[in-house]
């Protein structure tokens, strides 16, 4: 067993413990912690710290940064986990761990089991690294928004069917969750706008054959998220329609980057 796979397994264990502890807390079988000092947070933080070690070993090489499909997926998940823990003291989004930590666990295991390579050479330049970091932050913030939307949809469905249990009772009020959702969408939209702007400024021939699909899907996603915010501000859009369009925009965004990497690197081995 390689040391990298061992680290990935330890990171998976941290995420699994965070998820299990959160399930027990939300069901009222464990006492709630105080803000960032809850045991759920410490388990998640332990997983993220070990995860950072795996990323250090898998991403950084003498030739440059390896952003192959599974490495990129793992890095994206790490950013999502960091954003979740950073935002915990400021928003009632602890329940998002029910969605986020299982996905992080799967991502880190896939990175340990499978391999693909796409080297961003050291000659790429700081401006391109900045563009990539902003893009990943945008994807991460919007991924949290989708997770929030899923939880909001679950809560809304249970309430309409009058099926109340300990889990749904532990969720914040619908209005609070909805406000948090649009804060996440707003932050993600700003970051996605910066990502597109830096792409147009720093990337040569953004509409070249190998980039045109990424550009088109990203612009479509940007229009969907922008339309959601406009409809919220001007028409008070809310409810299941918000969640549906949020998922549509996020799928477009994933097709723009991870979808193309999956086809080229994993399926076509290009």
Identify the sign of the CA torsion 244, 250, 255, 258. Answer: negative
Residues 180 and 207 occupy one common structural domain? yes
Nearest-CA neighbor of 74 among 95, 94, 47? 47
Residues 152 and 244 occupy one common structural domain? yes
| pTM, entire model | 0.82
pLDDT, averaged across the chain: 79
Return the pLDDT at 246.
92
Residues 213 and 266 occupy one common structural domain? yes
CB of 136 closer than 8 Å to CB of 194: no
Residues 57 and 185 occupy one common structural domain? no
Residues 62 and 75 occupy one common structural domain? yes
Residues 116 and 163 occupy one common structural domain? no
Residues 138 and 93 occupy one common structural domain? no
Q: What are the φ and ψ backbone dihedral angles of 65, each rounded to 5 degrees?
A: -105, 125
Residues in the chain: 270
Task: Determine what percent of the chain is predicted with pLDDT higher than 70.
Answer: 75
Q: What are the φ and ψ backbone dihedral angles of 119, each rounded to 5 degrees?
A: -85, 125
Point out the domain boundary residue: 99, 124, 149: 124
Residues 148 and 116 occupy one common structural domain? no
Q: What is the mean pLDDT of residues 97-112?
A: 87
Residues 90 and 160 occupy one common structural domain? no
The total number of structural domains that make up the chain = 2
DSSP state of 66: E
Alpha carbons 21 and 101: distance in angstroms, whole number: 11
Q: How many C-beta neighbours within 10 Å does residue 121 have? A: 10
pLDDT of 150 strictly over 90: no
Residues 108 and 161 occupy one common structural domain? no
Point out the domain boundary residue: 124, 144, 170: 124
Domain hosting residue 68, numbered range: 1-124
Residues 145 and 262 occupy one common structural domain? yes
Give residue-wise pLDDT tens across range 224-266.
999 999 998 888 888 788 888 999 999 988 887 766 656 555 5
Point out the domain boundary residue: 101, 124, 147: 124
Residues 88 and 163 occupy one common structural domain? no
DSSP state of 172: P
Give residue-wise pLDDT tens across range 41-64.
888 999 999 999 988 887 776 666
pLDDT band at residue 33, thresholds of 50, 70 and 90? very low
**Could you tell me the two tokens for 20?**
């299990």
Nearest-CA neighbor of 148 among 243, 83, 217? 243
């Amino acid at each position: 067993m390689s040391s990298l796979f061992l680290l990935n397994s330890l990171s998976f264990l941290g995420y699994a413990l965070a998820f299990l502890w959160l399930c027990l807390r939300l069901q009222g079988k464990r006492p709630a912690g105080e803000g960032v000092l809850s045991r759920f947070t410490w388990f998640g933080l332990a997983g993220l710290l070990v995860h950072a070690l795996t990323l250090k070993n898998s991403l950084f090489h003498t030739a440059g940064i390896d952003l192959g499909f599974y490495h990129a997926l793992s890095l994206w998940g790490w950013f999502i986990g960091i954003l979740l823990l950073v935002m915990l003291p400021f928003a009632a989004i602890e329940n998002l761990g029910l969605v986020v930590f299982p996905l992080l666990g799967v991502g880190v295991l896939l990175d340990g089991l499978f391999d693909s390579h796409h080297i961003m050479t050291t000659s790429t330049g700081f401006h391109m690294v900045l563009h990539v970091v902003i893009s990943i932050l945008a994807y991460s913030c919007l991924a949290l928004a989708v997770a929030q939307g899923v939880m909001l949809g679950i809560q809304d469905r249970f309430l309409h069917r009058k099926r109340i249990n300990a889990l749904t009772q532990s969720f914040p009020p619908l209005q609070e969750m909805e406000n948090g959702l649009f804060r996440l969408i707003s932050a993600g939209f700003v970051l996605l706008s910066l990502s597109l702007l830096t792409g147009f400024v720093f990337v040569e021939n953004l509409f070249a054959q190998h980039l045109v699909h990424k550009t088109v899907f990203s612009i479509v996603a940007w229009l969907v998220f922008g339309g959601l915010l406009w409809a919220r501000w001007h028409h008070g859009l809310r409810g299941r329609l918000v969640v549906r369009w949020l998922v549509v925009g996020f799928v477009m965004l994933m097709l723009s980057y991870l979808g193309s990497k999956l086809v080229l690197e994993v399926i076509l081995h290009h």
